[in-house]
A and B are shown apart, each in its own frame.
Chain A
Amino acid sequence: MKKILTIALLFFSFVALAQEKIAVTESDYSNSSVDMADLMRSNGKIYIVVGIIVIIFIGIVAYLIYTDRKLSRIEKSISA
């Protein structure tokens, strides 16, 4: 009972603490004074698209290399 009470009180104290924080407002999203990863956001975020395509391509190539190697092993085991 004592434990549960402690936990409950602790929980409420966290809520109370949270209320003391500074709220995130709309201006935090629209300001240009804070530098973020802006390179990736320039030119209509085209770099993101490039990144996505490159990731997909690397994935496909990795799969192809894996298949290629697996096949080489099978070829070796057959000729042996």
Chain B
Amino acid sequence: MRQSWWKILAIALLLYTFTAGLLWDVPRLPILNETIRALYFHVTMWFGMLVALLVSMIYSIRYLRGNNLKDDDVAIEFANVAILFGMLGIFTGMLWAKFAWGDYWSGDPKQNAAAIALLMYFAYLILRGSLTDTQQRGRISAIYNIFAFAVYIPLVYILPRMTDSLHPGNGGNPGFNSYDTDATLKLVFYPAIIGWILFGTWIATVRIRMRRVERTLEDRMLNS
């Protein structure tokens, strides 16, 4: 059990999210009703995706600076976790939208932007899959990853806010104010964000270690 305190913290925070998030009092708002609790699950997916993509981009830069394949492992696996969170975010959002806005897909600017962002990162996976040389794959995909992140931020977090959108926090009003997130919601919302980020990091680290073991074995096969 080396350095496992943050894994325990992740489990504790998520157990808290599931119990307090479903049981505690929430504002009784029309249309939303109990679905306001999806804040702890749907919205946190996007925070998880954002942080995972940030880590992925930082390690892509590190890879370009040092040409160390270990950095490439981190970049791809955090991107994988980000895509997982993004897909879960899209699907949970569609279900929520059906009952809050009346349709699974309303062509809302943020919905469209999130879908484009996912396609952009699917392209990252396809790009990686199409290159066989590890150094070449690392280099080209790192450059793509950095540019993809530079597009992702304005696409999902800035542009939808500049037009009218069904999402709260868009169409001119700030995302975090007393109207959409009051103090009791934050008591679960913030721990939930940290919990999901740590849980995603855990999954990523397990897969990174898997990649490294695989590489060690391959190197041994080649050298023996």
Contacts and interface: CB of A to CB of B under 8 A. Distances in A.
Chain A CB within 10 Å, residue with most, of B14, B18, B209, B210: B18
Contacts of A47: 23
Q: Could you tell me the dominant secondary structure of chain B's interface residues?
A: helix
B206 A68 contact: yes
Interface size class of A (residues with CB under 8 A): 10 to 19
Contact of A46 (B14, B15, B23): B23
A75 B72 CA distance: 19
Contacts of A74: 213
Contacts of B7: 65, 68
How many B residues are at the interface, by size bracket? 10 to 19
A64 B206 CA distance: 9
Contacts of A54: 15, 18-19
Contacts of B11: 61
B209 A75 contact: yes
A45 to B, nearest CB: 12
Given A64-B202, A64-B203, A68-B206, A78 B217 contact: yes
A57 B22 CA distance: 14
Given A53-B18, A57-B18, A71 B202 contact: no
Contacts, number: 36
Given A64-B203, A64-B206, A53 B22 contact: yes
Interface in B1-25: 2, 7, 11, 14-15, 18-19, 22-23
A9 B14 CA distance: 60
A45 B53 CA distance: 38
A37 B19 CA distance: 19
Contacts of B2: 72
B22 A71 contact: no
Interface in A7-44: none
Given A53-B18, A57-B18, A78-B213, A67 B206 contact: yes
B141 to A, nearest CB: 24
19 contacts: A46-B22, A47-B23, A50-B22, A53-B18, A53-B22, A54-B18, A54-B19, A57-B18, A64-B202, A64-B203, A64-B206, A65-B7, A68-B202, A68-B206, A71-B206, A75-B209, A78-B213, A78-B216, A78-B217
Given A49-B22, A53-B18, A71-B213, 4 more contacts: A50-B22, A50-B23, A75-B209, A78-B217
A-B pairs, top 6 by smallest CB distance, nearest first, are: A50-B22, A53-B18, A71-B209, A78-B216, A68-B206, A61-B11
Interface of B: 2, 7, 11, 14-15, 18-19, 22-23, 202-203, 206, 209-210, 213, 216-217
